[in-house]
Amino acid sequence: MRPIIGIATQTLEAIPGELPACWIMGQSYVQALRSVGAIPWIIPLLPDDEATLREIFERLDAVFLTGGVDVDPSRYGEAKQPCCGRTDPPRDAVEIQLIRWAIEAGKPILAVCRGIQVLNVALGGSLYQDVPSQLPNAIKHDYFPTRENPSRNRLVHSIEVQAGTRLAAALGESRPIVNSMHHQAIKCIAPGLITSAVAPDGVIEAVEGANGRYIVGVQWHPEELISQPGQKQLFASFVAAAQSR
Ligand code: MN
CB-based contact 73:118 (threshold 8 Å): no
| pLDDT of 192 over the 90 cut | yes
Buried b (16+ CB within 10 A) or exposed e, 173-207: eeebebbbbbbbbbbebbebbebbbbbeeebbbbb
Q: Which of 95, 205, 223, 224 is catalytic?
A: 223
What pLDDT is stored for residue 190 in this prediction?
Answer: 98
Q: Which of 113, 183, 205, 208 is catalytic?
A: 113
Report helix angle 89-105 to 114-122, nearest 10. Answer: 70
Task: Give the Å distance between the CA of 221 and the centre of ligand 1.
Answer: 9
Q: Tell me the average pLDDT across 58-87.
A: 98
What pLDDT is stored for residue 48 in this prediction?
Answer: 97
| pLDDT of 150 over the 90 cut | no
What pLDDT is stored for residue 13 in this prediction?
Answer: 79
Give the pLDDT band (50/70/90) at residue 178: very high
Sign of CA dihedral 63, 31, 40, 166: negative
- What is the percentage of the chain residues whose pLDDT exceeds 90? 93
pLDDT in tens, 87-146: 999 999 999 999 999 999 999 999 999 999 999 999 999 999 999 999 999 999 999 999
Q: Tell me the average pLDDT across 23-28.
A: 96
Q: Is 37 left (phi over 0), alpha (psi -120 to 50) or beta?
A: left
Give the pLDDT band (50/70/90) at residue 155: very high
pLDDT in tens, 204-234: 999 999 999 999 999 999 999 999 999 999 9
Give the pLDDT band (50/70/90) at residue 22: very high
What pLDDT is stored for residue 14 in this prediction?
Answer: 76
Task: Give the Å distance between the CA of 185 and the centre of ligand 1.
Answer: 8
| pLDDT of 245 over the 90 cut | no
Whether the predicted model's global pTM rises above the 0.95 cut: yes
Task: Give the Å distance between the CA of 1 and the centre of ligand 1.
Answer: 36
Give the pLDDT band (50/70/90) at residue 242: very high
Task: Give the chain's domains with CATH numbers.
Answer: 4-244 (3.40.50.880)
What pLDDT is stored for residue 187 in this prediction?
Answer: 98
Residues in the 5 Å CB sphere of ion ligand 1:
141, 180
Task: Give the Å distance between the CA of 59 and the centre of ligand 1.
Answer: 34
Does residue 113 carry a catalytic annotation? yes
Give the pLDDT band (50/70/90) at residue 165: very high
